[in-house]
Chain A
Amino acid sequence: MIARSARSTWRRRAAVVTAMVALGLPASGRAQSPQVTVDPPQLRVETFSGQQHVLITVRVDPDATPVVVIRRPDAEAVFNRKVRVGPIWLNSGRVHITGVPALLLCFSPVPVDALLQRADIDRYLLDARAVRQALHVEPAEFDAPAIRDSYLALRQEDESYRFADRGSDAFEAGEEPGWYALRLAWPTRAPTAMYAVSVYECREGRVVSTATVPFEVARTGLAAWLAAQATDHAPLYGAVAVAVAISLGFGIDFLVTFFRRRGARHGRQPSKRSAGHLGAH
């Protein structure tokens, strides 16, 4: 199990690194600027961990400004498409959206359009307009501006996308020039997965340098064990799920009845409206 888990983690890391290379990003923080570190480097989420916090520290040249982006690699998203037929709105056909990250969180100390020219914003998908242009809609006949806007609205509603249109309060400038700290309450809706944390060093309207590190959010403890059982021993897991649910149902009923009878024995008479009255209906 441990060996399989390690192999799975290695594969996911390899996939993230491949994605970074595809994006034209260096695969890890280098000694020269910019630098990015994530603390903790791997977020271990347990069943009752509660809200988790992440500290991202970046260093850029003192005359540059950083933009930090957290991405989850691209994944196809499938939605129902609503169309109007006469007076009725109906789901008609499935829309497949690709070419954009499943999760995209952008942070910068100042509005990103004040830092960068449009070409770089588009290239690194740093605002809603860039994502709208980059996403790919299948089938092509369903592609329309309204569909692209709807996709963005859905992603922003479920907090999968966040843009630095107005700058981010979470950024703190360090004591030394060029150092910044980004304190982030990790979104509880963000699924356990491999993420990439990138820092873009911005100067004179351009991204002059980048660095990216992988960041894994992984289950551990009971949650990890249950997730493994759900896939590795599915029939047993299914049977146990049914048995546990039935036991819980009957168990609660037993407890309620037990306490009700005990209450009745201790002086309270059971309700006169017992089962007998039900036959009258």
Chain B
Amino acid sequence: MTILLPVAGISINLFVLIGAGALVGFLSGLLGVGGGFLLTPILMMLGVPPTVAAASDTNAIVATSSSGMAAHFRLGNVDLKLGTVLLLGGLAGSAVGVQIIKVFRLLGNADVVISLTYVVVLGAIGSYMFVESLQSLRRGSLAPRVSTARPSGTLLGRLPCQMKFPRSGIQHSVFVPFVLCAMVGILAAVMGVGGGFIMVPMMVYLLRMPMHVAIGTDLFQILFTCAGLTFMQATTNHTVDLLLALCVAAGSTTGAQIGARVGRLFRGDQLKVVLATIVLVVMVKMAVDLVASPANLLSAVKGAGH
């Protein structure tokens, strides 16, 4: 059964779109990653023009993250206070990152910077997360390793504007999550993908948040970021295909619900292993793409990813 996509102007099998959405939604609900890294290439493979694919999957991710966030919110996994700080930091970082990439583009080195940053950052985060999670699993530790104590005595503990985040069970200077998230925002803008890959590990390892709360809170900030992006893409580029987004979202919202519930069957450390594995697989694919001779010397020009 094919469906004509009004903005893309092409017809695609409806069930393929829903299936692609379900896969991405499942990962989103399970691990808190947005899914843009998967969805845009899948839609492009199906023949959707790159700019429409990038803009429409942003719209679909709004639906997915709403669904996933609602499920996590009911389970008590969304830290609204910390999420708001992270969102503001992420927005500030993205704005800086866009300017940085403009400078690199003028210098003609943008793609070198993007590709190498991608591989190095994903490689470092994935490897650390994978090793640490495996060690944790071997120890069989069920007890939380999250420090709820105020980090007094440390440099971070002496920073001003200390704030308690009861839902996450942590206390930090408000500048810590803001600056960390701004750095993630810069990286996300430079790398052209969303922050989910980097944001969740950063929340777990640097802010010491529980894995499930990190996932729920990440979905909260993804929802707002992608809603803003969708509106901007619709008004400036007219590339949001609502029908395409809804078809994908029909699969992805359901997938997100299943992912969130499947996530409850796993311990935080087990989820970390899954996320680390996916991060490493993406990193390895990027690295192979960098060194292997391409099948074609030309590639489609994508729109803004996330």
Interface of A toward B, CB cutoff 8 Å: 45-51, 78-82, 85, 87-92, 94-95, 146-147, 150-151, 153-154, 158, 188-193, 219, 222-227, 230-231, 234-235, 237-242, 244-246, 248-250, 252-254, 256-257, 271, 273-275, 277-281
Interface centre among A85, A146, A192, A235 (most CB of B within 10 A): A192
Please list 18 pairs of residues, one from A and one from B, whose beta carbons are closer than 8 Å in the complex, sorted by A's number.
A82-B294, A88-B291, A89-B289, A94-B301, A189-B11, A189-B47, A222-B6, A226-B243, A242-B227, A245-B230, A245-B249, A248-B249, A249-B64, A249-B65, A249-B69, A253-B70, A273-B264, A280-B142
| Complex partner residue of B301 from A78, A225, A245, A248, CB under 8 angstroms | A78
Given A150-B297, A223-B4, A224-B6, does the pair A234, B238 have CB atoms closer than 8 Å? yes
- Flag if B298 contacts A154 (CB, 8 Å): yes
Question: Within the complex, what minimum Cβ distance (angstroms) separates A146 from chain B?
Answer: 5
- Flag if A250 contacts B66 (CB, 8 Å): yes
In the bound complex, what is the Cα–Cα distance between A147 and B298 (angstroms)? 7
- Flag if B243 contacts A47 (CB, 8 Å): yes
Overall SS of chain B's interface = helix
In the bound complex, what is the Cα–Cα distance between A153 and B77 (angstroms)? 49
Contacts beyond the supplied A79-B298, A222-B6: 11 A-B pairs with Cβ under 8 Å:
A47-B4, A80-B299, A223-B5, A226-B243, A230-B234, A238-B230, A241-B245, A246-B62, A246-B66, A256-B257, A274-B75
A88 surroundings in chain B (CB, below 8 A)? 112, 115, 290-291
In the bound complex, what is the Cα–Cα distance between A246 and B6 (angstroms)? 21
Mask for B266-304, Cβ within 8 A of A = 1, else 0?
A: 011100000000000000000001111111111111000
Mask for B217-247, Cβ within 8 A of A = 1, else 0?
A: 0000001000100111111001011110110
Question: Within the complex, what minimum Cβ distance (angstroms) separates B82 from chain A?
Answer: 16
- Shortest Cβ distance from B272 into A: residue: A281
B257 surroundings in chain A (CB, below 8 A)? 252-253, 256
Question: Within the complex, what minimum Cβ distance (angstroms) separates B2 from chain A?
Answer: 5
B43 surroundings in chain A (CB, below 8 A)? none
Mask for B1-37, Cβ within 8 A of A = 1, else 0?
A: 1111111111110000000000000000000000000
A241 surroundings in chain B (CB, below 8 A)? 59, 230-231, 234, 240, 242, 245
- Flag if A245 contacts B66 (CB, 8 Å): yes
Answer yes or no: B74 CB below 8 A from chain A CBs: yes
Question: Within the complex, what minimum Cβ distance (angstroms) separates B238 from chain A?
Answer: 5
The number of A-B residue pairs with CB atoms under 8 Å apart is 228
- Flag if A219 contacts B291 (CB, 8 Å): no
Q: Which 7 A-B pairs have the closest CB atoms?
A: A249-B66, A238-B234, A281-B268, A253-B70, A191-B9, A249-B67, A79-B298
In the bound complex, what is the Cα–Cα distance between A248 and B71 (angstroms)? 13
Question: Within the complex, what minimum Cβ distance (angstroms) separates B43 from chain A?
Answer: 12
- Shortest Cβ distance from B240 into A: residue: A241
In the bound complex, what is the Cα–Cα distance between A151 and B68 (angstroms)? 41
Question: Within the complex, what minimum Cβ distance (angstroms) separates A178 from chain B?
Answer: 34
- Flag if B291 contacts A87 (CB, 8 Å): yes
In the bound complex, what is the Cα–Cα distance between A49 and B10 (angstroms)? 12
In the bound complex, what is the Cα–Cα distance between A226 and B4 (angstroms)? 11
- Flag if B254 contacts A48 (CB, 8 Å): no
A224 surroundings in chain B (CB, below 8 A)? 6
A90 surroundings in chain B (CB, below 8 A)? 111-112, 115, 290
| Complex partner residue of B249 from A226, A240, A249, CB under 8 angstroms | A249
Question: Within the complex, what minimum Cβ distance (angstroms) separates B144 from chain A?
Answer: 6
- Flag if A48 contacts B299 (CB, 8 Å): no
- Flag if A245 contacts B297 (CB, 8 Å): no
In the bound complex, what is the Cα–Cα distance between A280 and B240 (angstroms)? 41
Given A78-B301, A88-B290, A219-B9, does the pair A50, B66 have CB atoms closer than 8 Å? no
B213 surroundings in chain A (CB, below 8 A)? 278
In the bound complex, what is the Cα–Cα distance between A82 and B47 (angstroms)? 21
- Shortest Cβ distance from B300 into A: residue: A79
Interface centre among A85, A223, A238, A281 (most CB of B within 10 A): A281
- Flag if B12 contacts A252 (CB, 8 Å): no
- Flag if B269 contacts A281 (CB, 8 Å): yes
Given A150-B296, A226-B6, A249-B70, does the pair A242, B230 have CB atoms closer than 8 Å? yes
Given A223-B243, A246-B227, does the pair A79, B299 have CB atoms closer than 8 Å? yes
Question: Within the complex, what minimum Cβ distance (angstroms) separates B1 from chain A?
Answer: 7
